[in-house]
Structure 1
Amino acid sequence: MSRWPSDGRERLRQAALELFAEQGFAATTVPEITARAGLTTRTFFRHFPDKRAVLFVDEDEISEMVARLMAEAPAAVEPMALIRDGLRVLAETRFEGRRPELRARRALVATDAGLQERDLRKRAAMAEAIRTGFLTRGIDASRAALLGEVCATVLSLSIEEWLDSDDPRTLDHVVQATFDTLRAELG
């Protein structure tokens, strides 16, 4: 038998998100989160280093996913095709079906400079994971850095457009449209 409830992390995350929505990020304390979840403060810190981490739980997972997708792709796959395929997988597995939750998260991040900074670091970490992946695949440093930044920018712009829209397009469709715009601008 497990010593702690197996759903403790998710209970804490849900309690935190509810409290952040009700009273704001800055006004919410860890003891309030744990009380709402019916868990201890010690349990909170076993799952999260601080309350900001609740909003960025998938930060490391996305970088690991990017690294894995790049490592598993056949060597013959062209870089832009690899980026396009990787963004499709990311959109389908990490974003689809979560639009309302992601809108609420975005609104919350907009209220706090520290959260905004953490969000920018998350984007930079993704660009770095892509750059590293391309370096590992033998692409020169400048090109690898450019591809990493382009990918992170395409994803960021696409997510913003998708969250701002109520149309039924999937994030993957928005990503494809953003790539089409980029290709058209580059000639």
Structure 2
Amino acid sequence: MTAPPAPTARERLVAAAFALFSRNGFASTTVDQIAAEAGVGRTTFFRNFPSKEDVVFPDHEPILRAVEGRLASASSATATVAVFEAAALVLDHYVGEGDIARSRYELTRSIPELRAAEIANQRDYQRLFRDHARDWGYDDLDAELLAAGVVTAHNHVLRRWLRRLTDVPRTELAAALDRLPHRRADSEGDTQIVVLRTSRDLSSVLETLRSGLDGE
């Protein structure tokens, strides 16, 4: 059996930081202590993180890029699936972190500057969903409502998982997102076109279509 790869310096720094935060508290933990606990130097710390606060949210930028990539690959026809899968990317990451995610939850509840950073991160996600909703044909208000709703639904389910109130967070996320209004600006008065093969002549087909429209 192949042994798992050794943790990277970045991963060791994150693990060390959260262990120290848990033992000593966030305010009492220094960058030098984190680096020493991880077995690296101070320079290595700052090569990976601009500050102690950034260790608390180590994967925000990569996850944001992954969400952006999933939403960018969607069209108006696949928007609903893309919204779920993009939100699930974030949820799956937090669930995969396990105890680190729960430690972060406790930190952000008690330390105002970390809570402010978390809110700023959430706004980044909300902005992505809003901008792509506009690309899919949502008007400005519906795009804002959808984006805010996605973030709210995700956070509600994530908090339930963090508090150990659910062990099926993905299922709950799908159910929560199903309650959002999926309306687009171009959905009013949609014209649906169905193409069928027929041996009838064109004039006969057109007459049938006219009769159907007149009867609406």
- Distance in 2, matches of 1:176 and 1:138, equals 22
> Corresponding residue for 1:53?
54
Q: Which has the higher helix share?
A: 1
8 Å contact from structure 2 (residues 88, 170) kept in 1: yes
> Corresponding residue for 2:213?
none
> Corresponding residue for 1:64?
65
Q: Which has the higher contact order (CA 8 A, sep 6+)?
A: 1
Q: Which runs of structure 2 are paired with 1:125-164 in the superposition (5 Å)?
A: 125-164=124-163
- Distance in 1, matches of 2:43 and 2:19, equals 20
| SS in structure 1 at match of 2:96 | coil
Q: 2:171 aligns with which of 167, 170, 173?
A: 173
Counterpart AA for 1:151? V
Compare CA radii of gyration and give the structure with the larger one. 2
> Corresponding residue for 2:88?
88
Counterpart AA for 2:51? D
TM-score by length of 1: 0.83
TM-score by length of 2: 0.73
Displacement of 1:10 in angstroms is: 1.2
8 Å contact from structure 1 (residues 95, 171) kept in 2: no
| SS in structure 1 at match of 2:40 | coil
Structure 1 residues not aligned, in runs of 5+ = none
Aligned length: 176
Counterpart AA for 2:118? D
| SS in structure 2 at match of 1:110 | helix
- Distance in 2, matches of 1:98 and 1:10, equals 12
Runs of 4+ aligned residues of structure 1 deviating over 4 Å after TM superposition are none
> Corresponding residue for 1:107?
106
Structure 2 residues not aligned, in runs of 5+ = 1-5, 181-216
> Corresponding residue for 1:30?
31
Provide the alpha-carbon RMSD of the alignment.
2.3
- Distance in 2, matches of 1:75 and 1:22, equals 49
